[in-house]
Amino acid sequence: MKRLGILGSGKGSNFVAIAEAVRRKALPVEIVLVLSDVENAGILALAAKFGIPHRYVAPGKFRTKLEPDVEMEYARLLQEAGVDLVVLAGFMRVLKPLFLSLFENRVMNIHPSLLPSFPGLEAWKQALDYGAKCAGCTVHFVTPETDAGPIIQQAVVPIRVDDTAETLHVRIQKEEHRLYVETLRLWSEGRLRVEGRRVSIL
């Protein structure tokens, strides 16, 4: 069975969707390690509840990236755990080329917009403020350029006239949970083929 390592900084709702799918045997993988750069992150408490090895690793002095030594420590822990795929689930720091070269095409992320529209923070709010009619979410492989790696799958979430940032975010997150699990299932079955920027589902 393929082994996943999950990185997160936040509440961990995508982690829960993945862990529940694993538990009900809808996703044939093993989550072997959860790492967080935030000591009191919800994702760590949730990993404990699921009985999954988890650990806080202090990020160092930067705000949007890991300190280089620390980043190598993350890589070491993931490799030591025999991780086949690194799953970013709300991990709020960019990963640098050296880390990514150790896991080429083996780091996935979910972003709350239809990329390449609205990269960056609070993407659902960006879509709403822009006046877009559709928002959504994107699962993609991670490359050094933020939110710009090869797109694997997307889901559309229509924006309603009475939406607020909060109501829209709730509907997008619901789709994220479904889409991430489905994409990971395809990956676990060896059904994703990457050719340059294009990912096809076999």
Q: What does DSSP assign to residue 61?
A: S
One residue of 29, 75, 86, 89 binding ligand GRF per CB under 6 A? 89
One residue of 70, 110, 135, 155 binding ligand GRF per CB under 6 A? 110
One residue of 4, 6, 7, 12 binding ligand GRF per CB under 6 A? 12
User: Is residue 11 part of the contact set for ligand GRF (CB under 6 A)?
Assistant: yes
List the interface residues with ligand GRF, window 111-150 (CB under 6 A).
111-112
- Asked whether 164 and 124 are in contact (CB, 8 A), the reply is no
User: Is residue 34 part of the contact set for ligand GRF (CB under 6 A)?
Assistant: no
Whichever of 72 and 117 has its CB closer to ligand GRF, that residue is 117
Classify 142 as helix, strand or coil: coil
User: Is residue 31 part of the contact set for ligand GRF (CB under 6 A)?
Assistant: no
- Asked whether 111 and 127 are in contact (CB, 8 A), the reply is no
- Asked whether 176 and 164 are in contact (CB, 8 A), the reply is no
Tokens 């989550």, residue located: 31
Backbone φ, ψ for residue 13 (5° rounding)? -70, -35
Residues with catalytic roles: 111
Binding footprint of ligand GRF on the chain (CB under 6 A): 8, 10-15, 89-90, 110-112, 173, 176
